[in-house]
Amino acid sequence: PMEAEAEARLLLQEARESIEAARSYRRELEQRLRGLHQARKQIRESATLTRDVLEQHFNDLKGTLKKLLDERLMSLLQEVDAIEQDSIKPLDECQKLIEHGVSTANDLLREGESAVHGDVGQQNEKLCSFTKKALHIQLDSLPEVPSLVDVPCLSAQLDDCLLTILKNQIFRHGTVASRPPVQLEEFVEKPGGILVRWCKVDDDFIPQDYRLQYRKSTASHFEDVYVGSETEFIVLHIDPNVDYQFRVCARGDGRQEWSPWSVPQIGHTTLVPHEWTTGLEGYSLSSRRNIALRNDSQSCGVLYSKAPTYFCGQTLTFRQVLSGQLIETVGQPDRRDSLGVCVEQQNGYDSLQRDKAVCISTNGAVFVNGKEMTNQLPAVTSGSTVTFDMEVVQLGPSSNEGGNFKLRVTISSNNREVVFDWVLDQCCVALYFGCSFSYPGWKVLVF
């Protein structure tokens, strides 16, 4: 009986495992079925959209061609009218002159016949008057009439090869692609933004430029966000926890037209955007509070972030807004200038070169807890780039170094970097960021 009971339990266990395997198998099949439905939907929707685009494009072409042909026809007809009028005008003047001469000759003939056949008593007087009038009219002077070879004979010269050229161009105009040459590859969440990466999937396609577009999922139209030769771009001003659609296309080397769009994909970020804190007199902020400008105020101090929104494992970047670089300055640097991160806000300081903070000065010096390191980065000037990366490397007691929490910090500037361990006496994975500048003109975007 015990063996039978054990065998029954074993069979029951095997049956349950088989049931779970069948459920998992069914889930996988259902997932693949959904994938097939999505693939079929993509094919049909893209085919419908392509038909609409082709019909709209060729209807526009037909309308434009008809308009151009009508305009050309009108221009040629106006040219015919102008030549006709200019050529007929001297003939009309000549005709009037001849008709006037015919009328004068008729009058003269009637007067002459009257003088010849008139009363004998008055005949001499009439003949004398008629003879004088005839001599005055100059009957031997005739207006010149142009020969037919000297007057315009209008005709139209129409080159029939135009139809052949148009036919060849039309038959080569437009292509239908089943797959775009570039596709979106990856979305990386950033505070208030998304890093979008794409790649070339057609080995025969040589890209010159890429064009990235995006839209909110609730919007009806895409808008350009990047055009250039890079294969990644950070899209800023992204609302957290909102879906955005992205698509990318490319332009071949030496070509003017863009390739077909990639398959649209959804990206979003759950990270709230970095913001500077408001109210510090020495700095003016943008409407989104992610750009800080050192103004002309004599007040100085450290401008901190609104909250500890920088987390270990992320990259903190400062970027100049207008030129696409990090920082733009029109004022002279100062040794107290600093950009960096800190454990907490501490008022009363004019620099981040203090305890519980790491920063870089505008002269390239790196400070850790207020102490200057021997390694130095290039000076921060107009067009510089500075990023901070941190990761936790130690949790727990560390009596030798006097701390129980250690972060590995990487600061990069102008393609150079320094790496060091930052020892703290408390666990801290969410940090504030800050900046301090002594002179006006510095303008910093943080993300």
Q: Does some domain include residue 3? A: no
Quick one: 364 and 308 in the same domain? Answer: yes
- CA pair distance 57, 253, nearest whole angstrom: 24
pLDDT band at 159 (very low <50, low <70, confident <90, very high): confident
Could you say which of 112, 143, 172 is where a domain stops? 172
Could you say which of 139, 172, 205 is where a domain stops? 172
Q: Average the pLDDT over each of 21-25, 57-61, 211-215, 280-284 and give the range with the smallest value.
A: 280-284
pLDDT band at 328 (very low <50, low <70, confident <90, very high): very low
- CA pair distance 32, 427, nearest whole angstrom: 45
Contact 443, 327 (CB under 8 A): yes
Per-residue b or e along 385-415, where b marks 16 or more CB atoms closer than 10 Å to that residue's CB: bbebbbeeeeeeeeeeeebbbbbebebbbbe
Q: Does some domain include residue 393? A: yes
Quick one: 256 and 302 in the same domain? Answer: no
Contact 328, 442 (CB under 8 A): yes
pLDDT band at 82 (very low <50, low <70, confident <90, very high): very high
Quick one: 240 and 311 in the same domain? Answer: no
Q: Does some domain include residue 277? A: no
Residue the block writes with tokens 């259902």: 30
Q: Does some domain include residue 1? A: no
Lookup: tokens for 54:
């082709």
- CA pair distance 424, 442, nearest whole angstrom: 30
Q: How many domains does the chain have?
A: 3
The whole-number pLDDT of residue 319 equals 66
Q: Does residue 140 surpass a pLDDT of 70?
A: no
The whole-number pLDDT of residue 252 equals 86
Quick one: 134 and 211 in the same domain? Answer: no
Quick one: 313 and 397 in the same domain? Answer: yes
Q: Does some domain include residue 275? A: no
Mean pLDDT over all residues of the chain? 85
CATH of the domain at 261: 2.60.40.10
Quick one: 151 and 212 in the same domain? Answer: no
Structural domain of residue 345, as residue ranges?
283-446
Q: Does some domain include residue 273? A: no
Q: Does residue 202 surpass a pLDDT of 90?
A: no
Q: Does some domain include residue 142? A: yes
Contact 191, 271 (CB under 8 A): yes
Could you say which of 267, 300, 332 is where a domain stops? 267
pLDDT band at 120 (very low <50, low <70, confident <90, very high): low
Quick one: 190 and 148 in the same domain? Answer: no
Quick one: 293 and 433 in the same domain? Answer: yes
Q: Over range 279-302, report the average pLDDT.
A: 87
Q: How does strand 338-342 pair with strand 357-360?
A: antiparallel
Query: Per mean pLDDT, which of 91-100, 184-193, 372-381, 436-445 is the most reliable?
Result: 184-193
Q: Over range 55-60, report the average pLDDT.
A: 94
Contact 86, 78 (CB under 8 A): no
Quick one: 164 and 108 in the same domain? Answer: yes
Q: Does some domain include residue 8? A: no
Q: Over range 99-108, report the average pLDDT.
A: 82
User: Taking Cα atoms as reference points, which of 290, 271, 185 lies closest to residue 233?
Assistant: 185
The whole-number pLDDT of residue 324 equals 36
Q: Over range 205-217, report the average pLDDT.
A: 92
Contact 365, 333 (CB under 8 A): no
Q: Does residue 12 surpass a pLDDT of 70?
A: yes
Quick one: 51 and 115 in the same domain? Answer: yes
Quick one: 219 and 142 in the same domain? Answer: no
- CA pair distance 115, 129, nearest whole angstrom: 9
The whole-number pLDDT of residue 399 equals 44
Quick one: 40 and 138 in the same domain? Answer: yes
- CA pair distance 93, 86, nearest whole angstrom: 12
